[in-house]
Structure 1
Amino acid sequence: MKKVAVILSGCGVFDGAEIHEAVISLLALARQGASTQCFAPDVPQLHVINHLTGDVSEGESRNVLVEAARICRGQIRDVAELDAADFDALLLPGGFGAAKNLCDFAIKGAQCQIQPDVLKACQSFARAGKPAAYICIAPAMIPLIYGAGTLATIGRDEGTASAMEAMGASHLACPVNEFVVDEERRVISTPAYMLANNIIEAADGIEKAVKQLLAMC
């Protein structure tokens, strides 16, 4: 059985992991016979968003690891413990938490940095040559992990693509139901809700990316 590490960024599209993307990914991995272990950084969220109104909940603070535990029924570990030696592959769902809590791309764009424990974990897979899949906005981190020239996609958003290219990525436009693979660096990306209009469209690309991820193990 192939073992896949999944890094979550909280719980909720506007301030954490995109729940549809996370659950679709976990379900696709399970249906294709893989076992999973979820991880998240043990840090405060950038902020808390009221998902009913879209407003920032002033004065409220939540922990990324604690919130991410909601998605995986409490079966989660601190990403500081994650090492590629223990797994066959890596997967990161999107959601604004990927760009706010795993890194600060949402705030600093091309000048962003990745949270240190997340960076160390992701780089361990890159150095080991083990495949990884980045979903939705999570591919914004790819050039900081894999270096200049890495093929990646966030779909067709020109502003985000330009920022990624300024960071060193070689961005390829991609439809919602497909994915991009950098064969040399063994990293996969798919747009999901960067383009998806509904859960079915998001699932199409994610399920294909998961199939490719496991085939590359």
Structure 2
Amino acid sequence: MLWKRLYQSLGGQEEKRNILQESARIARGDVADMAKLDVSAFDAVIIPGGFGVAKNLSDWAVKNKDCTVLPQLEKIIKAFHKAGKPLGMCCISPILAVKLLPGCEVTVGQDEECEKFPYAKTAGVLKEMGCKHVNKDVGEAHVDVKNKLVTTCAFMCNASFHQIFDGIGVLVKETLILA
């Protein structure tokens, strides 16, 4: 198996990946296809960030502000929003809300680039897409009450894990308050 992966990494036959299997491995449990999600069975949804959002759940990684969102996820986000159920999004995932909920308010950290916030230019792109970006530190979350949307920067900031954990904790708490 190791040799097969090494061969593939050196330009050999392309490995086929199953996102549900990989998700189950990472989650260490059962996962379900999002196409089967019943919005009425949940009080809120929290969408983590990471490169999967930018590459698999959208094409932000290559198209930036001209990105599209995976149709199944777009349907879920719009259904939760229409039902008045809260949405929590961290790291890069607020781009999904910006794309699908015109005029929403989000945070991806700060809009001034520095060592702590190396991805601050993302805030400017989000503003160009029509949202209001609110500067927040890593331990904070922004609550857009009108859209029942809670966001935090998480790994868009160079910070220690406990600070990122704290910010995500605030996001979860605020999302549950809105539920």
- TM-score of the two chains, using structure 1 as the length reference: 0.70
Matched, 1:170 2:137: no
| Contact 1:154-1:194 at 8 Å conserved across structures | yes
The partner residue of 2:144 within 178, 182, 185 is: 182
Matched, 1:158 2:112: no
Moved more, 136-145 or 104-113: 136-145
Q: Letter of the aligned partner of 1:97 in structure 2?
A: G
Higher strand residue share = 1
Detail structure 1 runs of 4+ shifted over 3 Å in the superposition: none
Structure label with greater radius of gyration: 2
Higher helix residue share = 2
| Contact 2:58-2:69 at 8 Å conserved across structures | yes
Task: Tell me the secondary structure at the aligned position of residue 155 of structure 1.
Answer: coil
Residue aligning to 1:113: 68
Deviation of 1:109 after TM superposition, in Å, equals 0.4
Deviation of 1:57 after TM superposition, in Å, equals 7.0
1:121-132 map, 5 Å: 121-132=76-87
In 2, Cα distance between equivalents of 1:84 and 1:102: 18
| Contact 2:46-2:88 at 8 Å conserved across structures | yes
Deviation of 1:81 after TM superposition, in Å, equals 0.9
In 2, Cα distance between equivalents of 1:185 and 1:126: 7
Unaligned runs of at least 5 residues, structure 1: 1-49, 51-55
In 2, Cα distance between equivalents of 1:200 and 1:214: 21
Q: Letter of the aligned partner of 2:140 in structure 1?
A: E
In 1, Cα distance between equivalents of 2:10 and 2:39: 36
Unaligned runs of at least 5 residues, structure 2: 1-5, 111-118
Percentage identity across paired residues of the two chains: 38
- TM-score of the two chains, using structure 2 as the length reference: 0.85
